[in-house]
Structure 1
């Protein structure tokens, strides 16, 4: 059910997420440590922000396995950004392997990733779409449950336009209400399959990342947060403290290297990273 990683802080190379650490995202694409099925070979995607050139992030996606894409291996060492996202996909049964279904998904200045699944998505899809605004509905280009989740989040974001001067609070409300909407629909339709909603949502300056599973289901998919600089030595990777003015935050499905410095996010919580890279972990 996919693996992802996100970074906010002083500019680093994309390769510091994707290729260099001992448990880089490419490593997780063929040997994930915290999934029953270690393979995530149904495509990948990366996104990065260059605000001096444009507000929206750049995105590169492919249906190739991440471990076997020469373009990614060539791009990663020379791409630097203060906000990076990377995702390797394990397609849910019945959902096509296509570039349009690869994460991250972008809406304006926002980028979004999902690790998990919407329980009973095939049974819920029609009702879910009926509840969307025209703009959110029209923006769906692929067939994944993930992109439909983003549509719900987008609508809830627009519903809280009065909080425009408090974007992190606005985003938290949007994420909470989207999860509540999906859960209510699942219960109404008597779907027994649980939802796993590890959702990452960023505007390039702030980020919200949830670790959620439907009530009565254990455990949620893994999620970790680390604060500091990632130092890669001999292919390993360790997080070390850095000055406050250079504060950095990593959030990933699995630690990218040595586990020291990484904290497991509690189940049914959200990690909120503000523009100053301060971090709060709060219950959903």
Structure 2
């Protein structure tokens, strides 16, 4: 307990120095409406639990801020977003909001800032572009070296939309441009094409600058109806960051989370850096694969 208290104090006292490429935890839900607390506070391995005791990271702390997003389509197309630089476990507003917020599409993210990147609200995930919400676990290899060349590839629209300093928001800017340029009519196929082109460009810049540090790109993007998630790491021996998905009904009882068989109101799909509780029905996303979730919550895995 003394060691844990020491880590919690360090997270509250200032930015953490963590290994590049080992940062953040996230979860996303699509399905019949549930409370935000079913992701954030109630499960034994909730996002708040992962903010101070992540199970599948060498460094268990993710205390450099958090963000949640949720959709209320009867009120507007764009998601609502709540972010803060305070640790998720210590934010009274989040604890008060989560039990009374319900949605069919929820995102939650806890951040461990990359070395050299500011702990600021503008750098907290999820990032929103019109009706899309986006979040990232990982890092762009050699981002400080390739940032300028990356920005040169952006349209004015994507460039001007960047408000913070994270590599994650720059990935979103690339993805946004590729999305607008793609000719594929099907939205999910268009998103998959845009993502492939984004990864290809990032890897091209790494090679051009002789950057050996790999990129870790666990990404999630949704418009509130469908979603695309990927688990990616640059070619080489480095392991990809953990990422799981489950299909069924998310049930939380007495602090224990499980995935049951789909209910009559349709299946849910949950994607998370770590299973939220009982690991039954959770499957690891294969390395360098996409998870495409359509508006009927059908799941399609595809190699990148």
TM-score by length of 1: 0.98
Instruction: Map 1:1-284 onto structure 2 (within 5 A).
Output: 1-160=23-182, 162-164=183-185, 166-243=186-263, 245-284=265-304
Q: Do the aligned residues in 2 keep the contact of 1:194 with 1:217 (CA within 8 Å)?
A: no
Deviations along 1:197-251, one digit per CA (max 9) or x if unpaired, are: 0010111111000000000032100000000111112211111011364110000
Question: After TM superposition, where is structure 1 displaced by more than 3 Å over at least 4 residues in a row?
Answer: none
Count of residues paired in the alignment: 282
Q: Measure the CA separation in 1 of the matches of 2:35 and 2:232.
A: 30
- Answer with 238-247 or 172-181: which moved more: 238-247
Q: Measure the CA separation in 2 of the matches of 1:122 and 1:217.
A: 23
Q: Measure the CA separation in 1 of the matches of 2:270 and 2:128.
A: 20
Q: CA deviation at 1:88?
A: 0.1
- Answer with 233-242 or 12-21: which moved more: 233-242
Q: Do the aligned residues in 1 keep the contact of 2:127 with 2:169 (CA within 8 Å)?
A: yes
Q: Measure the CA separation in 2 of the matches of 1:157 and 1:249.
A: 24
Q: Measure the CA separation in 2 of the matches of 1:16 and 1:46.
A: 12
TM-score by length of 2: 0.92
**RMSD value over aligned CA atoms?**
0.8
Structure 2: segments with no counterpart, 5+ residues? 1-22
3-state SS of the aligned residue for 2:256? coil
3-state SS of the aligned residue for 1:91? coil
Structure 1: segments with no counterpart, 5+ residues? none
3-state SS of the aligned residue for 1:221? coil
Q: CA deviation at 1:56?
A: 0.5
